[in-house]
Amino acid sequence: MSTTLNHDQVSKILKGITVPPQPQIIVDIHMEQAMPNPDIDRIATLISQDVGLAGTILKVVNSDLFGLKNKITSIEQAVHILGLQSIITLTEGLSIKGELDNETIVALGGFWDSAMDIASVCATIARQIGYQAPDKAYCLGLFHNCGVPMLMKAHPGYRDVMETSYGCGSQRIIDFENQQLKTNHAVVGYYAAKSWSLPQDLCEVIAEHHNAMDIFKENPIPYDGGKKTLLAILKMAEHICGVHMVLGGKEEDHEWENIKIPLLEFIGLSDLDYEDIAAEMEGMGISIKGSFYDT
Report pLDDT digits (tens) over 201-226.
Answer: 999 999 999 999 889 987 777 788 89
H and E: helices and strands count for the chain: 19, 0
Say if residue 71 is in the same domain as residue 192: no
Do residues 228 and 156 both lie within one domain?
Answer: yes
Query: Domain range holding 213?
Result: 102-294
Is residue 12 situated within a structural domain? no
Region of 90 please: left (phi>0), alpha (psi -120 to 50) or beta: alpha
Q: What is the mean pLDDT of the segment spanning 159-168?
A: 89
Cα distance between residue 267 and residue 99, in whole Å: 42
pLDDT digits (tens, 9 = 90+) for 106-123: 667 677 788 888 998 999
Residue ending a domain, choose from 97, 112, 145: 97
Dihedral, 262, 264, 269, 275 alpha carbons, nearest 10: -130
pLDDT at 106: 67
CA distances from 216 to 8, 193, 219, 261 (A): 31, 24, 8, 9
Residue 167 confidence class, pLDDT cut points 50, 70, 90: confident
Please tell me the predicted confidence (pLDDT) of residue 295: 41
| 73, 113: one domain | no
83 plus 223 within the same structural domain? no
Residue predicted with more confidence, 284 or 267: 267
Whether the CB-CB separation of 21 and 91 falls below 8 Å is answered with yes
pLDDT of residue 114: 84
Determine how many CB atoms are found less than 10 A away from the CB of residue 127: 12
| Structural domain includes residue 5 | no
pTM of the model: 0.80
Residues 149 and 257 reside in one and the same domain: yes
Residues 108 and 213 grouped into a single domain: yes
Average pLDDT in the chain: 83
The CA R_g of the chain, rounded to the nearest whole Å, is 18
> Please, which pLDDT band fits residue 293 given cuts at 50, 70 and 90?
very low
- Which residues are CB-neighbours of 5 under 8 A, at least 6 positions away? 13, 182, 183, 187
Residue 249 pLDDT class (50, 70, 90 cuts)? confident
CB atoms within 10 A of CB 21: 25
pLDDT at 291 over 50: no
**Average pLDDT of 88-92?**
73
Give the contacts of 281 (CB within 8 A, at least 6 positions apart).
121, 124, 240, 241, 287
Please state the length of the chain.
Answer: 295
Q: Distance between CA 47 and CA 51 in Å, rounded?
A: 8
Q: Tell me which residue of 246, 169, 164, 239 sits closest to 209, measured CA to CA.
A: 239
Decide if 15 is inside a domain: no
Q: What is the CATH number of the domain that holds 282?
A: 1.10.3210.10
Residue 123 has a pLDDT of 92
- Asked whether the predicted pLDDT for residue 3 surpasses 50, the reply is no
pLDDT higher than threshold 50 for residue 2? no
- Which residue type is seen at 156? P
Examine residue 70 and state whether it is found in any structural domain, yes or no: yes
Q: Are residues 139 and 216 in the same domain?
A: yes
Query: Has residue 279 got a pLDDT over 80?
Result: yes
Mean pLDDT, residues 236-253 taken together:
91
Residues 289, 149 share a domain? yes
| pLDDT score of 215 | 92
Band of residue 87 on the pLDDT scale cut at 50, 70, 90: confident
Looking at the structure, tell me whether residues 270 and 145 fall in a common domain: yes
Q: Supply the DSSP symbol for 112.
A: H
Last residue of a domain, one of 97, 114, 130: 97
Per the structure, how many domains does the chain have?
2
Mean pLDDT across 22-30: 80
Q: For residue 13, is it within any domain?
A: no
150 domain residue, yes or no: yes
The answer on 153 and 31 residing in a single domain is no
Q: Is residue 139 part of a domain?
A: yes
Phi, psi for 168 (deg, rounded to 5): -85, 0
**The pLDDT of residue 140:** 93
Same domain, yes or no, for 125 and 202?
yes
Q: Same domain, yes or no, for 137 and 248?
A: yes
